[in-house]
Amino acid sequence: MAYQRAASVLAAMMVLFASIPTGVQSTGVCYGVHGDGLPSAADVVQLYKSNGITAMRIYVPDVQTLLALNGTNIGVLMDVADENVPRLAASVSAASDWVKINIQRYLPGVSFRYIAVGNEITGSATQSIVPAMKNLNAALSAAGITGIKVSTAVRMDVLSASSPPSFGRFKDGYMKDVVAVINSTGAPLLLNVYPYFAYAGDTKNIDLDFALFQPSSQVIRDDSFNYTNLFDAMVDAVYKGLMHANTDAPIVISESGWPSDGGVGASADNARTYNQNLINHVGKGTPYRSQPLETYVFSMFNENRKPGAETEKHLSVAPRTTLSVAPRTKRFVCLPTCGTQT
């Protein structure tokens, strides 16, 4: 009975993915695993398939997940874990081994799209990003593997300024090198975009509805564009940064979401509103670049073991779904918010 209740609630909470516009071929969901009581990788992949989710981001090359993805045609964005980036940067041989172990052995059954060389790497570690990207590109080429693009996932603070969007400029030298690499290979820049954190950091000047894609009196007028939501303004600031770095490289939204708890404006209702509006919106592109944005919503599950601010633990696409718990045994029946016990 507990499993039946779980299935029915799960179907209700995943209805937002049934509304993905037909023209948006790649609205995916990030698969974070830092939570207790999560389903098996095979069950998670089945969850994606049963809800028509066509793309997945994973943060490490997990064997069980990759085996479960075989033959599903789910597009995969896979990270090189931050701690492994320096090793791949230092050695073409290490990059070749990484490709052989984590990519080549799963082909052609797994539909790899992108390799993210680290996620939001900062400080001195950024110096390893470009050498690792170059070594991975060389390793893929040597293995005769085509169609997989190598990039890195960055956050908004790679810009020195982002408001208004036309002021977007990359502040650090390594980003110019990143841009040069992706420009030469046709890879996108992977961008993590969270209007929530911009809003939470400046509630006096940012209207909540403006951050949620809801009708708002707040409008940013910049050049010939009118911005009626914060997401577009943030993304276009990065597009402007790319333009000023002399490239028209595309952007893939590698993470975006809204927390259901843990901070100002963080609620289940706001999370549902943001995620649904995000899915509905990205097929239109932005004012500056009106082409569909491939987007990965963060995240499939709440992650109660994730370090950092409390909001980081509450970013499931199905916020506030309670766990069904079998009597006496207290066995978890996992829904998209496994990791949050009520």
120 is a catalytic site residue: yes
The reply to whether 310 belongs to the active site is no
Place of tokens 């894609």: 213
Round to whole Å and give the CA distance between 158 and 168: 10
Phi/psi-derived region of residue 142, left when phi > 0, alpha when psi is between -120 and 50, beta in every other case: alpha
Question: Smallest Cα–Cα separation from 336: which of 303, 307, 311, 306?
Answer: 303
What is the DSSP track for 78-146?
EEEPGGGHHHHHH-HHHHHHHHHHHTGGGTTTSEEEEEEEEES--GGGGGGHHHHHHHHHHHHHHTT--
Of 255, 294, 303, 312, catalytic: 255
DSSP 246: T
- State how far the alpha carbon of 198 is from the alpha carbons of 175, 204, 210, 220, in Å: 22, 11, 11, 15
Q: What is the CA radius of gyration of the chain?
A: 20
- Which helix (H) or strand (E) segment holds residue 296: the answer is strand 295-297
Tokens 């030469």 belong to which residue? 184
DSSP symbols for 29-88: EEE---STTPPPHHHHHHHHHHTT--EEEESS--HHHHHHHTTS--EEEEEEPGGGHHHH
Return the active site residues: 120, 255
